[in-house]
């Protein structure tokens, strides 16, 4: 990810360093839940009673999205029959929300001002790990929404701050594959949070499973770094039935690792799910939004490369239980309870520090905000076409540069004529020059 503007970085750092960590009021941001008449502070989203998970209830939006899906499938079929490409088929903005995916990523950070400072001031390493796990789980309920955000363009950015002074910098660092990178600077220099997510999704017969792949890093002032991965989101009811959202781990536990203090936490989502054909005739004993886990000592890699898994050293230190829609406990002690505390949303940056590449300046997004769907669709298509043309130009320039360097190598050193060709060979031979 490119570094934020120097002034913005300096302001964020100096602003945080100017405060005394010891005097920072951690409890200030634990404010009472603000009841807006909805179950989770999300219009059109309720708990799916019975099976579990959350359910979208806006039938109008659901019908609109299914209509778009049907039209797209027909269009793709026609293009295939006519020998045309299906790559350039664009989704209509009628099913979009006027935000970029960069901004949407921060939705699940809604308790960042509460739980990350709490982790930063924790005196015991295991307590710090518990608060980091709480931060991640407590925000998941806001990560499932019906409307689609705009896909970020390559180099697109988004900047914001939280009410506690936390500074957020986002950037789309790759288009194919789509990778979004972020840097977060906590208040009073309490922590740094950064990572890069590659978004991947796959279709099921009646739904989609997608996830943000990549390591998330939170580093505290004493050098402790906790690294974790995120669960995938499962959405059913794409074509028929109710639109239900759940989190799944795809047989890979969600893992938090603190190498400095030799700690690890593993979470399992929907731990009692009945797999295979039995799942059609037998229900799980707990709802699908249930999660369970343990905190243990981490595996130790020895000098010979083997892994130490001594039962005594790996013994359970704490038991984790809860639901991403209800609350989270460690050894039956509640750390987060739904609807107990107000959640926080970042405030988009303004003024001279906002980069021209900020997603709020996109013409298609601005048109959708104004309700002009026709203009928004037009501008979205133009931006996508411009991005495809830019990709072709970059590839052409890359090919020219490779050819030039290979020709130069062959002319100056006959031995190089037998060296590997293509981009891998050029990187191997020329290193930093490439």
What is the structure's pLDDT at 306? 64
Weakest-pLDDT range from 3-7, 370-374, 395-399 = 3-7
- Hey, which of 68-82, 199-213, 358-372 has the most confident mean pLDDT? 358-372
Q: Name the average pLDDT for the chain.
A: 85
What is the structure's pLDDT at 175? 86
Instruction: Please give the average per-residue pLDDT across 344-369, as a whole number.
Output: 94
> Greater confidence, 162 or 277?
162
Task: Let me know if 364 is exposed, middle or buried by CB neighbors in 10 A (0-12, 13-18, 19+).
Answer: buried
What is the structure's pLDDT at 18? 45
> Greater confidence, 239 or 317?
317
Q: Is the pLDDT of residue 99 over 90?
A: yes
The domain limits of the chain are 6-37+92-347, 381-433
Q: Is the pLDDT of residue 16 over 50?
A: no
> Which of 153, 154, 150, 182 shows the shortest CA–CA distance to 167?
182
Q: How far is CA 135 from CA 43, 218, 322, in A?
A: 23, 11, 14
Q: Is the pLDDT of residue 222 over 60?
A: yes
Q: How far is CA 375 from the centre of its chain?
A: 29
> Which of 365, 370, 391, 398 shows the shortest CA–CA distance to 88?
391
Q: Is the pLDDT of residue 146 over 70?
A: yes
Q: Is the pLDDT of residue 238 over 50?
A: yes
The structure's pTM equals 0.84
- CA gap 80, 97 in Å, rounded: 30
What is the structure's pLDDT at 85? 55
**60: number of Cβ within 10 Å:** 8
Instruction: Please give the average per-residue pLDDT across 162-186, as a whole number.
Output: 95
Model confidence at 218, pLDDT cuts 50, 70, 90, reads very high
Q: Is the pLDDT of residue 10 over 70?
A: no
6-37+92-347 is classed in which CATH architecture? Beta Barrel (2.40)
Token couple for 19: 């405060």
> Greater confidence, 205 or 355?
355
Model confidence at 303, pLDDT cuts 50, 70, 90, reads low
107 Ramachandran zone, left/alpha/beta (phi>0; psi -120 to 50): alpha
Model confidence at 280, pLDDT cuts 50, 70, 90, reads low
Q: Is the pLDDT of residue 384 over 50?
A: yes
- pLDDT, one tens digit per residue, over 30-85 is 999 999 999 999 999 999 998 899 999 998 888 888 887 777 777 667 766 666 55
> Greater confidence, 275 or 94?
94
**37: number of Cβ within 10 Å:** 6
> Greater confidence, 305 or 177?
177
What is the structure's pLDDT at 14? 44
């Amino acid at each position: 990810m490119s570094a934020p503007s120097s002034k913005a970085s300096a302001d964020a750092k100096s602003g945080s360093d100017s405060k005394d960590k010891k005097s920072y009021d951690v409890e200030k941001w634990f404010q009472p839940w603000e009841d807006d008449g909805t179950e989770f502070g999300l219009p059109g989203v309720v708990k799916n009673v019975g099976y579990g998970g959350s359910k979208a209830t806006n039938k109008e939006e659901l019908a609109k999205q299914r209509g778009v899906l049907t039209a797209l499938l027909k269009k793709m079929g026609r293009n295939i029959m006519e020998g045309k490409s299906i790559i350039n088929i664009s989704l209509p903005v009628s099913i979009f929300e006027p935000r970029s995916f960069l901004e949407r990523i921060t939705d699940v950070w809604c308790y960042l001002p509460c739980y990350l400072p709490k982790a930063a001031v924790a005196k015991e390493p295991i307590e710090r790990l518990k608060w980091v796990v709480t931060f991640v789980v407590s925000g998941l309920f806001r990560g499932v929404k019906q409307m689609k955000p705009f896909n970020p363009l390559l180099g697109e950015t988004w900047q914001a701050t939280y009410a506690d002074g936390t500074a957020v910098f986002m950037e789309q660092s790759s288009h194919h594959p789509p990778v979004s990178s972020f840097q977060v600077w906590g208040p009073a220099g309490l922590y740094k949070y950064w990572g890069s997510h590659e978004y991947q999704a796959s279709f099921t017969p009646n739904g989609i499973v997608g996830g943000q792949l990549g390591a998330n890093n939170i580093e505290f002032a004493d050098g402790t770094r906790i690294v974790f991965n995120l669960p995938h989101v499962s959405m059913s009811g794409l074509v028929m039935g109710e639109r239900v959202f759940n989190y799944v781990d795809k047989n890979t536990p969600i893992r938090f690792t603190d190498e400095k203090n030799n700690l690890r936490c593993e979470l399992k989502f929907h731990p009692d799910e009945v797999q295979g054909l039995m799942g059609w005739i037998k229900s799980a004993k707990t709802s699908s939004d249930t999660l369970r886990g343990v905190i243990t000592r981490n595996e130790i890699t020895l000098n010979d490369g083997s892994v130490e898994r001594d039962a005594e050293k790996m013994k359970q230190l704490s038991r984790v239980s809860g639901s991403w829609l209800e609350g989270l406990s460690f050894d039956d002690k509640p750390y987060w309870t739904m609807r107990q505390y107000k959640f926080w949303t970042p405030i988009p940056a303004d003024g001279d520090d906002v980069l021209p590449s900020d997603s709020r300046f996109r013409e298609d997004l601005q048109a959708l905000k104004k309700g002009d769907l026709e203009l928004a669709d037009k501008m979205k298509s133009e931006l996508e076409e411009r991005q495809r043309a830019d990709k072709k130009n970059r590839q052409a320039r890359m090919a020219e540069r490779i050819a030039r360097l290979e020709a130069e190598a062959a002319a100056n050193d006959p031995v190089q004529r037998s060296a590997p060709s293509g981009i891998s060979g050029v990187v191997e031979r020329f290193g930093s020059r490439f």
